Structure 1
Amino acid sequence: MKLLTATRTGQGERDGDFCHAVEGELVLLGLVCATDQKNPDGGCGCGRAFSGMSSMRATTTAVVRDLDVSVADVMLAVEGYYVSSGLGPDLIGGAEFADLVAETVAEMTEIAAVLPVGAVVGRRLDELIWRSEPSGVGEH
């Protein structure tokens, strides 16, 4: 299954680049604060970063990899991410939590499905920006 993962590839090519995430961990488009919604180049950087699902740290670059995981595996990872971030079913309710997880997994798979394996991308709010052509980096 194709998914976005954290990468250091391309770091430093643009002002404001950072990678605090763990190389290879799954990433998603996290929430964006009000400050970054007005200017993704200012504020905390969340408007131009992906959220690392294991480390809970961010990166401005992600690479598309074809991983040997199932949808159930990804759902479990997303559930863990939201619980760790404090947005679990005990806070928002079981049905709402299930909907959030399903929507997140759908978004993650839809985004990666249209990108070639090995492509490095960045983020500007809800849009992905091309950082480099595929190089075979994400292939197994």
Structure 2
Amino acid sequence: MDWTIEGELVWLGLVCAKDRRDPDGGCGCGRSFSGMSSHRATTTALVRDLPLTRDDLLGALIGHYDSAGYGLFTRAELIDEVDAMLDFVSSWPSGTIVERRLDVLRTRAPVT
């Protein structure tokens, strides 16, 4: 399922209580990524090597949460979130497809 905009940055969105109990039921947020501009969902993400800095990603994440109405996070928490995600995805080559199931991400074979 893909409701995001092609090429849009995605993030691990927040998971509702219903999906936290059963990621195969509920609304689907436990098995999807959140589009950072559209706030829509996709169940897969494509790893790309983009000319973005850490500060670019931090700004995008701040904008994402602000536009969604989540004023719950401090800048330090968001910096930690960006750094953790960058560390995590840095081992995946561009073209890798990623799927989510709650806090577990798994990869498919890279697109050739």
Find the counterpart in structure 1 of residue 82 from structure 2.
Answer: 105
Instruction: Spell out the pairing of 1:66-81 with structure 2 (5 A cutoff).
Output: 66-81=49-64
Find the counterpart in structure 1 of residue 93 from structure 2.
Answer: 116
Q: What is the alpha-carbon distance in structure 1 between the residues aligned to residue 74 and residue 26 of structure 2?
A: 28
Does 2:109 align with 1:133?
Answer: yes
CA RMSD of aligned residues (A): 1.3
Q: What is the alpha-carbon distance in structure 2 between the residues aligned to residue 63 and residue 111 of structure 1?
A: 14
Structure possessing the higher radius of gyration over alpha carbons:
1
Find the counterpart in structure 1 of residue 5 from structure 2.
Answer: 22
Letter in 1 for 2:44: T
Does the residue aligned with 2:47 lie in a helix, a strand or coil? strand
Greater CA drift, 33-42 or 98-107: 98-107
Cα deviation, 1:30-50, whole Å, max 9, x if unaligned, reads 111111111111000000000
Greater CA drift, 105-114 or 41-50: 105-114
Letter in 2 for 1:31: L
Report the number of matched residues: 112
User: Which ranges of 4 or more aligned residues in structure 1 deviate by more than 6 Å?
Assistant: none
Cα deviation, 1:40-88, whole Å, max 9, x if unaligned, reads 1100000000011011111000010000111111111111001001123
Give the percent of matched residue pairs that are identical in Structure 1 and Structure 2: 49
